[in-house]
Every structure is written in C-alpha cells, then in structure tokens.
Chain A
Amino acid sequence: MRDLEIALPAGDPRREEALAVLQAGFGMEARVGMSAREFMREVLLFTDDYIENVISTVFLDDKPVDDIDRALLAEGSRLALSAAMPGLVGAIMRRGSPYASFREAITHRGEGHAGADSPESGPDKEEATTIIVTVKMFNSVMRDRGPGVLARGIVLASGRAVELCDAIGIDTPPGISQGLDSGEANLLRLSIVVSPA
C-alpha cells in the first residue's frame, strides 16, 4: 500500500470538506478479532473518557451495538461511530439504551467473526492478523476526532482518493493518478495534514 500526504495550510476551509469523506466511510487497518472498544482505543486513539461519554451510538455491520467489548471486528466489518442522537429513535439507538427493546430485531448480539478469521486458521499468520475495516464517523465525532484521524492516514481506493481531491479542489497528486493509469484497484494510505498556525 502506498502512502500519500496532502498538506493544507492552517485555517484552510478545505479541511472541512475533507472531513466529509469520514461520514461516507474509509478504511483503517485493524487486528482481527479486536473489539470495537479496542479499535477505538488503539487504532483511532480515542481516550477511554471520550469512548464512554461521547461515543454513545455505535453500529457494527449496520446493527446498533450495546456492548462494545463483545462487538468483534473481522475483515470487511463496517463500524459507524456517533455521539448521542435526538428524538425517540435517537434514544432508541444509543448503546445500553433503556429503549433498546424497540430495536431488538436489529441489535448486534456480540457475534464476532473472529473464529473464522482467527490467525491459526490462515496459512500466513502475520498477514491474517491484519484486516481492513470500514469506519464511518458522524456528527461531532467527525468534527472532534476527524482531523487527527485524517492526519494519521486513512485507507482509500485510489478512485475515491481522486474524488476526494476533486471535491476539496486540489490537484490530484501524481501518486494517485499513477495507480489509476495502471488500471490497478489500488489502496492508498492517504493523510491530510493541516500545518500548525
């Protein structure tokens, strides 16, 4: 996977537009079988306090999660992170919500896929331990923690990286175009760094 970095000057409004890519979903490398909490703590570098008090709505594979320690990640998992949401349905979706029975049919039961993808079962232990999961960050989570995540780098298919560059109005870095020209379905680790004021 190639690494590419886009640097934006401090206070550049394009940073806001770059953040939008986070709600549509991006790739992050993770360890197979790690829990949603471990992922937030070790990969996204959220503090325990932030996880407990702000990340109150979590979806794994489109299912609302109550117990983030029992929600295990596997190759291709989709993890969506949000702060508390308004209204009756917003309250219903919160983790550990007293209204959770209202959405019982779609609640994540803590069934991970770790067994199937466990390191022992694969031919190459080293390779099998690293997976790519799709992460979505919404609302204040995107706004508060998005810049840090973007600066450390997210995994995108080269086509989406080009779209992102178009959306925020910057010239496509040559590294991305190369991938496209060769017709490969390339993954890039793209970081967007805003220089300090």
Chain B
Amino acid sequence: MDTIIRIDVGAAKGPKVTKEAAGKYAGIGGRALTSTVVAAEVPPLCHALGPENKLVIAPGLLSGTAAGNSGRLSIGCKSPLTGGIKESNAGGQAAQVLARLGIAGIILEGAPAGTPCYLVTIDKDGVKVADDQSLKGLGNYALIDVLKKRFGEKVAVISIGQAGEMRLPAASIACTDMEMHPTRHAGRGGVGAVMGSKGVKAIAINDEGCKTREPKNPEAFKAANKVWIEGLKKHPVTGGGLPSFGTNVLSNIINEAGGFPTNNFKTGQFAGVSKISGETCAALETKRGGLATHGCHRGCVIQCSGIYNDAEGNYLTKQPEYETVWAHGANCGIDDMDAIAMLDRLDDDIGLDTIEMGATVAVAMEAGLLKFGDAKGAIELIKEIGKGTPLGRLVGSGAGAMGRAYGIERIPVVKNQAMPAYDPRAIMGIGVTYATTPMGADHTAGYAIATNILKVGGYVDPPQGRGPDRAVAQPPDRDGSHRFHRHVPLHRLRRPRPGRHLPGPHRPDQRHAWPVPHRRRRHRPWQVHPQDRARLQQGCRLHQGRRPPSDVDEARSGSAAQRDLHHRGRGTRQSVQLVGFLIGGRRARS
C-alpha cells in the first residue's frame, strides 16, 4: 500500500491521472493521511468548492490485511459546511478493496471545465476516468444498479447522489456494503459536495486478481490479530450490545440520562423512545426476516449493523444507526420506526448526512414548516432535496442555513455543523468535544479523554478544577452557534430564579436548571459579554484574512482560532494548549 493516485480533473486535456509513491506520506493511513494531505496541500482560505480544495480518500493502515475490523475509509477536505478542515469516515467494502490494490490514497484535485459526470474505474491494470452523462442525476441506489450491470457484484463503489451533484453542504459520500447497497456514508461536513465540485459521480474499484496484504512478520501479526479478535468478541460492548442491538442500543440509556435531544433540543427525554430503541428495532428486523446482526464489510468481527425490511418483508435499508434514529426520530418527535427507516433510505439514496438532515428537519419544524412528529411531512421534505427544488436545496444546506432562512434562534450547531445525539447540557464533557474540535460539533473528534485520562499531549486533571465539568455550555449565540466563550467555576454557578425564562432545558422537570454564572456585572449570562464580543469579532476579522493572525490573536479568538490553527496544520501541542485555554479558563496575555 504505497501508491497515491492523483486525479487532476482540471487538467487542460481532461482529467490527468498520476500515480506516485506515498513519499512523505508513507507510514500513515486513514484520517492521519487525509488530514495531513489537506493540511499540507489545501490553502486554508480557499473556497471549499473551488479548484484549490482537494478531496482525499484513504483506507486505514491495516485495511486489506486479515486484521479484524480493518475496513474503515477516511475522506478529508476543506468543508463547505464548516469552512474548516474536515475528516469524515465510512465502513463498507471500499477500504479493503483499495488497500488490496496497493493504494494508500486517492486525491481528487483541480476543477473541471463544464459540467462533467466522471466515472472513475480502478483495477489492477490501472485507473480510467470517463465522462458518463447517463449517470447524471441518479440516486445512489439507481446508480449502483447501473454499475452492477456493468461491472458485476464484486466491485466496491464510492459515489454521490443528487445532493453531492448539487454541491449541497450536507451532501455525503456513499460506500457500498457487502450486498452492494450504498448504505455506508462519510456523512459529515459536506464531503459529497466537494466530490461533486470535482465532477466525479462514482469511483468503481475492482480488486480481482489481488491478494490479501501480507504482513512482514506473519507469526507476530497472526498472534496479535488473535488477541485483538478475542478481545472484541469477549468485551460486553463489542461482543454483546453492539452485535445484538446495533449502535441504537444507546437510545434508551442516553434518554435515561436526559441527554437524548428531543424536538429540536427542547428536552432531553423522548416519550416514544421504547418504540424506536435498538431493542425494538432488532426484534422487528428479526420478525420481518431481516437481520439484527450483520457486518458492513468482510472481516468485521463486531457486526453492529443489520438489514431492515419493510412490513412486506422486502429490503428497505440497513439497520438505522443510533445517530439516524435519534436525528430523524426523537429530535423530530417521530416515534415510527418504519418512517425513520424510510428517511434513512432516502438520505442514503440522495446522499445526505443523516445527523444534519434530522437536525435540519427539526429546525424546519421549529420554524412551523411542519409539526413535530409529522413523519409524512419529514419524508416529503427530504424528497424535495432529491428533486432539487428551492426548498430542497435549502434543506440540503443544513440546519444552520435553515435556521437563518427562517429566523430561528435555537439552531443546534457548532461551526455551522449540527450537533450529534448527545446533549452537552446533560453530558457536559461531550460539550467540550463539540466546542474544541476544529470540525464543528463532532462526537468522534476532539477526544477530551486524551488529556483527561490517557495523558496524551499533556494532562488536565478533571478533579483539580480544570476538567470538562467546569467548561459550561452556554446557550447559543444569536447566529445559532454554541460558544464556550467563558470559563465559569462550578462554585460560582447558581440556579436561576424560578419564573425566569431560560432557553434550552435538558429535561422537562428541570425547566429552570440552566447553570448561570453568579456575578455582579449587569449582563445576561447567555449573551456574549461586550468585552468578549470584541475579542470574538477581532478573531472573526482575522479569519477573514485582513492580516495573518498571531498566536495571541488565536488564543483570544476562541473557536475561530481553533479552526484556523488546525486548518493551517499546526501540531497537537498548540491544539492542546488551546484546549487547555478553553477548558481551563486561562486567558492569554496580550
């Protein structure tokens, strides 16, 4: 796995394919590779849909080997949704197949002339790029049907649906699973729009004639893999909860904790949770002849997925995941498992991030476009995106855009990306992750555990008063983004007076439980203090490129600085320092 394939879609005589040695990128894979390439090669101030942005696709380092669960595919670029660096990843067959072909990464660069619809085919004989206008406008399922007829059922396909072609900020990139359904998506941050901006509709990869990658030391590898697989099988989560009920096993638990955002983050508990839980879904799948335990690529040991059939017993979609069930279910007040499965199918087909879509529909519900709990209305709204109507394009632009268009105040986004299914007001530690990752609200990045527990990149001792419990989530600013702009020690928090209206209770019975700082300044605690506002504004101006920001400017300007810092590929040390600043409350001296 030592080859990088570059496809310059903007080359003078049409797409130019270059094969090169991994070189300075050798020895890294997956999100390390995609993020490193983006940081090194993409100018931070470029337009995310312009020629300077690059879409980087990379299998994990162990993909293509016999290692259990080694089939994750990472996709990176500058995000059209957040304006910062983005890493999004997916399961499915593509990573294993690419790695067996010896490909460490694919980089799509440049901007095409006109409006091509490229089909890239990769096999052991090489890479071909052809403009195939017949594929234009197809949903992922219809596209795969066409490609299946051409290439058979053994290829893996990476593709975009209509949303990606329309370059909508919520567009995802689909990867086919073992049954060649386009169900595994690199969903977050609008990576599909970047693929669309390169004019690439699909990449079909065929590893026929290639072998499983051989380790340098087969005996040691085999022994380590055995321990790894045994560990996965033995663990109560990876060997019990996940295979039996899927990731949606979390619904009941998070709901119990009051952290299951409901009706556009109005409350943290959903009355209909038991109708959409992983336990209920698994029982329904089994009853209808689907599967409650299934892998999304060959060699998956955990098998957290499944097959969801409709009431007639016909395939509808894969087992909807926790994030999907929450986003389209509780967050929209929908407790109908079949409706959620249909929304999942539509998201997969049109090529959309399910988290962003659930959040957007909920904001539309808050705006009065439809009612909370209106499953049919939600389905119609998502279908609008596939049709490319003006309303559909607005929905496909994400929760932030929808909220701004309708003048809604409660927009659950960080850096314009919708929050995932864990309410940071109930689980404050996760709020630090949302706030500090340069990628927007992301439950898989900004791993605060690293500094709290594992002592990687420095150490922040939670009980010593600098931990995440002390970084208090503030209600959203007027532009809808949540900012962790002020450190408030817990002993200075008090409960607000009864009767006082405060936004965002996380449980119905804690209507007045939002923590507010106790201090003398006459200033509403959920508003940005004028002093801080000036600092934030300064940060924003800096980010618009009026002058290059200094380290001090970055420290002052909070989240904008984070984005800029990471976007310019600074190392972990600086990030950790800034995380320390954000969660520890130390202010840089100017």
User: Which residues in A have some Cβ–Cβ distance to B below 8 Å?
Assistant: 13, 16-17, 19-20, 23-24, 54, 56-57, 59, 62-64, 80, 82-90, 92-93, 98-99, 101-106, 136, 138-140, 142-143
Bound CA–CA A63/B443 (angstroms): 22
B237 touches A54 (CB 8 A): no
Beta-carbon nearest neighbor of A142 in chain B: B279
B426 touches A106 (CB 8 A): yes
Bound CA–CA A98/B449 (angstroms): 10
Across the A-B interface, give the 4 residue pairs with the lowest CB-CB distance, nearest first.
A102-B429, A101-B462, A24-B274, A84-B236
CB contact between B287 and one of A13, A23, A56, A88 (< 8 Å): that residue: A13
Given A56-B236, A62-B507, is A138 in contact with B427 using a C-beta cutoff of 8 Å? no
Q: Please choose the segment from B172-180, B249-257, B392-400 that sits at the chain A interface, where 4 or more of its residues have CB less than 8 A away.
A: B249-257
- Can you name 17 A-B residue pairings with CB atoms under 8 Å? A20-B274, A23-B274, A83-B241, A84-B236, A84-B237, A84-B241, A85-B237, A87-B247, A89-B254, A92-B429, A99-B449, A102-B428, A103-B426, A105-B515, A106-B257, A138-B277, A139-B252
A54, A93, A101: residue with the most chain B Cβ atoms closer than 10 Å: A101
CB contact between B249 and one of A17, A59, A85, A102 (< 8 Å): that residue: A85
Which residues on B sit within 8 Å (CB–CB) of A103? 257, 426-429
Interface flags for B127-140 (1: CB within 8 Å of A; 0: not) read 00000000000000
Chain B nearest CB, measured from A76 CB (Å): 13
Interface flags for B389-429 (1: CB within 8 Å of A; 0: not) read 00000000000000000000000000000000010001111
Q: Please choose the segment from B37-45, B463-471, B516-524, B556-564 that sits at the chain A interface, where 4 or more of its residues have CB less than 8 A away.
A: B463-471
B contacts with A, residue count (CB < 8 A): 49
B244 touches A104 (CB 8 A): no
Bound CA–CA A92/B428 (angstroms): 11
A102 touches B427 (CB 8 A): yes
Beta-carbon nearest neighbor of B432 in chain A: A102
Bound CA–CA A14/B283 (angstroms): 10
CB contact between B250 and one of A63, A89, A143 (< 8 Å): that residue: A89
Give B541-575 interface residues, CB cut-off 8 Å to A: none
Verify if B308 is at the interface (C-beta below 8 Å from A).
no
Verify if B453 is at the interface (C-beta below 8 Å from A).
yes
Which residues on B sit within 8 Å (CB–CB) of A16? 283, 286-287
Give B255-309 interface residues, CB cut-off 8 Å to A: 256-259, 269, 274, 277-280, 283, 286-287, 304
Which residues on B sit within 8 Å (CB–CB) of A87? 247, 250, 443
Bound CA–CA A85/B443 (angstroms): 15
Bound CA–CA A136/B449 (angstroms): 30
Which residues on B sit within 8 Å (CB–CB) of A23? 252, 274, 277, 279-280
Add 14 more A-B contacts to A23-B277, A90-B250, A102-B428 (CB < 8 A): A16-B283, A16-B287, A57-B253, A59-B253, A84-B241, A88-B430, A88-B449, A89-B254, A101-B463, A102-B427, A102-B448, A136-B252, A138-B249, A142-B279
Which residues on A sit within 8 Å (CB–CB) of B496? none
Given A85-B249, A85-B250, A140-B244, is A92 in contact with B237 using a C-beta cutoff of 8 Å? no
Bound CA–CA A191/B280 (angstroms): 21
Bound CA–CA A136/B253 (angstroms): 10
Chain A nearest CB, measured from B207 CB (Å): 30
Verify if B245 is at the interface (C-beta below 8 Å from A).
yes
Beta-carbon nearest neighbor of A140 in chain B: B240
Verify if B3 is at the interface (C-beta below 8 Å from A).
no
Which residues on A sit within 8 Å (CB–CB) of B469? 101-102, 104-105
A80 touches B428 (CB 8 A): no
Which residues on A sit within 8 Å (CB–CB) of B453? 98-99
Which residues on A sit within 8 Å (CB–CB) of B258? 62, 106
B422 touches A101 (CB 8 A): no
A102 touches B430 (CB 8 A): yes
Which residues on B sit within 8 Å (CB–CB) of A13? 287
Verify if B95 is at the interface (C-beta below 8 Å from A).
no
Verify if B452 is at the interface (C-beta below 8 Å from A).
yes
Beta-carbon nearest neighbor of A143 in chain B: B244
A13, A54, A102: residue with the most chain B Cβ atoms closer than 10 Å: A102
Which residues on B sit within 8 Å (CB–CB) of A104? 428, 469
Verify if B242 is at the interface (C-beta below 8 Å from A).
yes
B252 touches A92 (CB 8 A): no
Bound CA–CA A59/B259 (angstroms): 13
Which residues on A sit within 8 Å (CB–CB) of B241? 83-86, 139-140
B237 touches A90 (CB 8 A): yes
Which residues on A sit within 8 Å (CB–CB) of B279? 20, 23, 138-139, 142-143
Which residues on A sit within 8 Å (CB–CB) of B427? 89, 92, 102-103, 106
